[in-house]
Amino acid sequence: MSGYQIDFSIDPLVHFERLLSEALSHSILEYNAMSLATVDENGQPNVRIVYYKGLVRGGLSFYTNYQGQKGRELEQSKKVCVNFYWPQWNTQIRIQGEVEKLKREESEAYFKTRPRLSQVGAWTSHQSDPIQSFDEFKLKLQEKERSFVGQEIPCPPHWGGYMIKPSSFEFWFGREGRLHERYVYEKIGSKWKTYLRSP
């Protein structure tokens, strides 16, 4: 993104929201997709795409099954890293921090906005567990769907949101000759330390 300027006097969340808003206004596909990195009990990193769902009390929110692989990993280590990448602009935002679960009422409110099939799926799937076949899973999905006919589907107790409390931001702008511009914010106490990184 050639025209965007990072002013270190501005809070990094303001830059983050401005860039995200720009991506949305330019109809960038999956503009809110972020790679989420966690670590298992053996120190093995795992990364997958999740969807950013807005700021909650200054933290980045996303939703998942608490009993799945990433949920289990987040229980044993709260430290995470997420990365947004928009190849059309050759721009990345990398954010490190720690997670905490959202309030139950926040998860329930968001769950109500999900498509009904996604709601049924949240009740049916034992996320990340092995299955015999996808056909067998679809049969279980249909059975669960029938059990909710004519009623609102409640949020499962094992499903909900997290917020990432940022401890660092890196705003990365790709440049010709790999002479990339890298602007860093690091949280020291209640203040942000700022500096540029070498390409």
- The per-residue pLDDT for range 76-88, each reduced to its tens digit, is 999 999 999 999 9
pLDDT at 132: 87
Given a cut of 80, whether residue 3 has pLDDT beyond it is no
Residue 1 has pLDDT above 70, yes or no: no
Residues 65, 156: Cα–Cα separation, whole Å: 9
pLDDT of residue 43: 93
Residue 102 has pLDDT above 70, yes or no: yes
Residue 6's pLDDT band, with cuts at 50, 70 and 90, is very high
**Which whole-number Å values give the CA distances from 161 to 60, 108, 158, in the listed order?**
10, 9, 10
Determine which one of 18, 104, 178, 197 is catalytic.
178
Residue 93 has pLDDT above 80, yes or no: yes
The mean pLDDT of the chain is: 95
- Of 95, 114, 102, 101, the closest CA to residue 169 belongs to 95
Can you tell me the distance from the alpha carbon of 160 to that of 137, in angstroms, rounded to the nearest whole number?
22
Closest CA to 94 of 22, 7, 199, 16: 16
Measured CA to CA, the distance from residue 20 to residue 4 in angstroms comes to: 12
Is residue 175 annotated as a catalytic residue, yes or no?
no
The DSSP string of 75-122 is: HH--EEEEEEEETTTTEEEEEEEEEEEPPHHHHHHHHTTS-HHHHHHH
| Predicted confidence (pLDDT) at residue 143 exceeds the cutoff of 70 | yes
Query: Which domains, ranges and CATH numbers included, belong to the chain?
Result: 12-112+157-197 (2.30.110.10), 116-154 (no CATH)
Lowest mean pLDDT among 1-5, 61-65, 161-165: 1-5
d(CA 88, CA 72): 34
Is 182 exposed, middle or buried, given 0-12, 13-18 or 19+ CB atoms closer than 10 A?
middle
Residue 128 has pLDDT above 90, yes or no: no
